Structure 1
Amino acid sequence: PAYQTLVSETTPSHGRIVMTGIGNCMMPVGEMYSALLILCNDPQMIHLDWRWLLRMGAIPSAVFGLLAFMFMKESSLFLACCGRHDETRIVLESMRSDNSRPDCAVQFKPHRALAGDVSAQEVIERQLGIVFGRRFLLTTVIVIYSTFVLNFTYFGCLYAFPQILSESLGGSPAMNLFIGAIWEMFGYIFGIFCSIRLARKPV
């Protein structure tokens, strides 16, 4: 995702896992927001007004999207690869100012402008040729299958668990969904703690 790319570009190497974990914590926050909307609409999740839920659920995306449009800088690596060196330098100078590091140099060796040399279709064909080539084909297939199974299982559990837990533990399905999101948040926090305390595997 774009967030992971920006984290890798704008965060020191020792803090990337932590920042990624903090970003991932936004998912259970979104789940809790959705659960609160469902609690307001129909805690038993039987007669849900899906049009209202979609409208209310889109509000955070609209707000954060507007803020990103207004304040987020374009990727400096993307700008450099497109040959937009003046804009790249402006972004780097902005990052230097935000971090209060006036002594940090922002000079860089210009990349070859990829966008002007080949068409977008040729770039995509080249990238797909690598991913689905002989060397990485097996890895690509395994990742595709694993991602499908992971998402199918995860989102299936998000749908099923609130219904099942309400029968065995009591409470409304919407409240069980909210509680599950809280536990998911604890899981992310535990993962961040482990990433800080445990040594990384040398490569």
Structure 2
Amino acid sequence: MASPANSQDKPTLGEVIDMIGMGPAQIRAGLLGGGVWMADGAELLLIGSVADTLSREWELSRFLKGFVVTIVYTGLMVGNIASGPVGVRFGRREAVLTSYFCIFCFSILSSTASCIGFLLAWRFVVGFGIGVGQPAWMAIASEITPSRCRILTAAITQSLFSVGEIYAAFLLQIDDPSLKHLDWRRIIQMGAVPPLLLLCLSAPFLHQSPSYLQLKGRHAEAMLVLDSMRRDNGAEVSVDFRLPPQPSPAASENFLGVLQRQGQIILGSKLLFPTFAVAFSCFITNLSYFGSLYAFPQVLSDLVDKGAAKQLFLGALWEMPGIVLGCFLGMLYPRITSLKFYLTMLATVLLLFIVGGNNRDRHWAFDVCLFTGYYGVKMAAQLGFVLVYQVANEIYPAEARTLGCGVCLAGGRLAAMLGPLFFEGITALTGTWLAFFLTMAAGAVLNLWISDLIPETAHLILDEEPAKES
């Protein structure tokens, strides 16, 4: 193996990743690390589905019934923020393993809860575990993927969320298709099986991020990871890379020092406004998806009566084309152009849903508007997740990537937490659901206006330097 001595004629770490190319190394890592998104989809659908059963069994108030779901989102948000310092202090790989451990152990504990207090505590930690793992995996994915394929990796990862939903739906279908008499303890236990399997497989087979190893001054270990990737992908290239001029202080700082340094980077003069713009984009994307996820069953039950359940199923199917479209746009067009297309689409389909739903009895054309808007919202939200989350991962330097991404994702989790409460509040205030969707459309337009604050990162080779502002 080549000497680690620094030399200006050697490629950077990011350039070595590009030369190794895309192949089995990234697929293996994606199936192992990307499982945190599958766990997210399964856990959110399961806990939401058993809320009615819990409410009847324990005679919960409407607030506590909703809070059983909200507490998971709260844990997710806290976990997203904590992921940065945890990832730098202990490693991105270790954050993913911790995520699987927390999801499994505290899901099992949730199934044994004897009162609402214990259940809320354990579900918070389950959400925290998911939140810790997601930004860490997103950092690993970007740091081991060639620049031209990063959006493809992001799209595949996002699709695992839907795989988790499918697994959860399978469990629910087996237990009780009517969802009225679910054995919630057994369902939660079965939902913990995939995280356990992923933990057992990831511990020996998921590699540490080479960028993290470089930050820690562990050059030889980084080269071993790169060599393994090279062999997996069949690439005949040298894996020796040029060291940065100065070692990263993160290698010797304590936890609080790491947190302070990362905070200064993501909230510094170069990245303050991009961080705000991406966090707001995450907020709008999550509000449009999770807010609508809560609102659509209630709205559609009024609009299409007995066909509501069928429309919920069809709407879920329309999420997959959104992921494919996000991958297509991300690979062929600049990030900002793709983001503007997504936000324009989101505002348009929300307005179509409003117009169609408010005038459905007048003409068949309004039915077209209604369902075009509904399917469009489901599709646009997934398109947004692929694009926005990828940008959140690309605008930061390696040292602060996990924290920066976690802060942006936390902005989205805040929207997920507030979405159901906002829908209920604004509907009670105005007497109609129209104001909720109109507010989301206005948010998409505002997001479109501030998207120019985000630097362009398409085809950027990730290394220790932050992205330049455009």
| TM-score relative to the length of structure 2 | 0.38
Aligned-residue offset at 1:92: 1.2
Match for residue 316 of structure 2 among 158, 181, 185: 181
Match for residue 119 of structure 1 among 254, 267, 282: 254
After superposition, what is the alpha-carbon deviation per residue over 1:125-183, rounded to whole angstroms, capped at 9, x for unaligned?
Answer: 1221333456654554454455345434422332443455466263684x655443322
Aligned-residue offset at 1:47: 3.5
In structure 2, stretches of 5+ residues that fail to align are 1-134, 338-455, 457-469
The answer to whether 1:128 aligns with 2:244 is no
Match for residue 31 of structure 1 among 156, 165, 181: 165
The answer to whether 1:71 aligns with 2:205 is yes
Percent identity between matched residues is 40
1:4-83 maps to which residues of 2 (within 5 A)? 4-83=138-217
Q: How many residues align?
A: 200
Equivalent pair of 1:21/1:191 in contact (CA under 8 Å)? yes
CA RMSD, 1 decimal = 2.9
Distance in 1 (CA, whole Å) between partners of 2:272 and 2:328 is 35
Equivalent pair of 2:215/2:251 in contact (CA under 8 Å)? no
Distance in 1 (CA, whole Å) between partners of 2:311 and 2:164 is 15
Distance in 2 (CA, whole Å) between partners of 1:189 and 1:165 is 26
- In structure 2, do the counterparts of structure 1 residues 150 and 4 end up closer, same or farther at CA, with 3 Å as the change threshold? same
Q: Which residue of 2 aligns with 1:96?
A: 230
Distance in 2 (CA, whole Å) between partners of 1:147 and 1:130 is 20
Equivalent pair of 1:32/1:178 in contact (CA under 8 Å)? no
Distance in 2 (CA, whole Å) between partners of 1:146 and 1:160 is 20
- In structure 2, do the counterparts of structure 1 residues 136 and 91 end up closer, same or farther at CA, with 3 Å as the change threshold? closer
Equivalent pair of 2:144/2:210 in contact (CA under 8 Å)? no
The answer to whether 1:170 aligns with 2:306 is yes
Equivalent pair of 1:83/1:110 in contact (CA under 8 Å)? no
Q: Which amino acid aligns with 1:182?
A: L
Q: Which residue of 2 aligns with 1:105?
A: 238
- In structure 2, do the counterparts of structure 1 residues 159 and 48 end up closer, same or farther at CA, with 3 Å as the change threshold? farther
Aligned-residue offset at 1:71: 0.9
Distance in 2 (CA, whole Å) between partners of 1:49 and 1:176 is 26
Distance in 1 (CA, whole Å) between partners of 2:324 and 2:214 is 35
- Larger relative helix fraction: 2
Distance in 1 (CA, whole Å) between partners of 2:298 and 2:277 is 32
Which 10-residue stretch deviates more, 106-115 or 88-97? 106-115
Aligned-residue offset at 1:21: 1.0
Distance in 2 (CA, whole Å) between partners of 1:160 and 1:117 is 49
Distance in 1 (CA, whole Å) between partners of 2:162 and 2:212 is 30
Equivalent pair of 1:32/1:181 in contact (CA under 8 Å)? no
In structure 1, stretches of 5+ residues that fail to align are none
- In structure 2, do the counterparts of structure 1 residues 135 and 190 end up closer, same or farther at CA, with 3 Å as the change threshold? closer
Distance in 1 (CA, whole Å) between partners of 2:313 and 2:306 is 14
